[in-house]
Amino acid sequence: HLFNNQLITINFLVDDLRFYLEINKFSRLADSAEALAAHNMQSEKEVAFLKRKVAIISKLFLNSDIPPKLRVRCWDPP
């Protein structure tokens, strides 16, 4: 399918949505951790959790063991 003169692979739309949702959750978690760090309240457990979360997102969507390695479509700005 074409959208805005770009080829869209339907199979990746679900992964695109899941990736967006995970990144959105991660962003909120990172913002919370940053706010806590500003008040010297951030724990090592929170930092370790965020690092594990990034590693999982990367492994699932950006560097997958299942071909193709990149499981989401990189969107070009309009």
Helix residue ranges per DSSP H, the chain:
10-38, 44-57
Ranges of each domain in the chain: 4-62
Question: pLDDT-based confidence at 7, cuts 50/70/90?
Answer: low
31-52: b (≥16 Cβ within 10 Å) or e: eebeeeeeeeebeeebeeebee
- Three-state SS at 64: coil
In sequence order, the 6+-apart residues with CB closer than 8 A to the CB of 69 are 62, 63
Q: Which two tokens stand for residue 70?
A: 């990149």
Question: pLDDT-based confidence at 2, cuts 50/70/90?
Answer: low
pLDDT tens readout for residues 64-78: 998 888 888 765 544
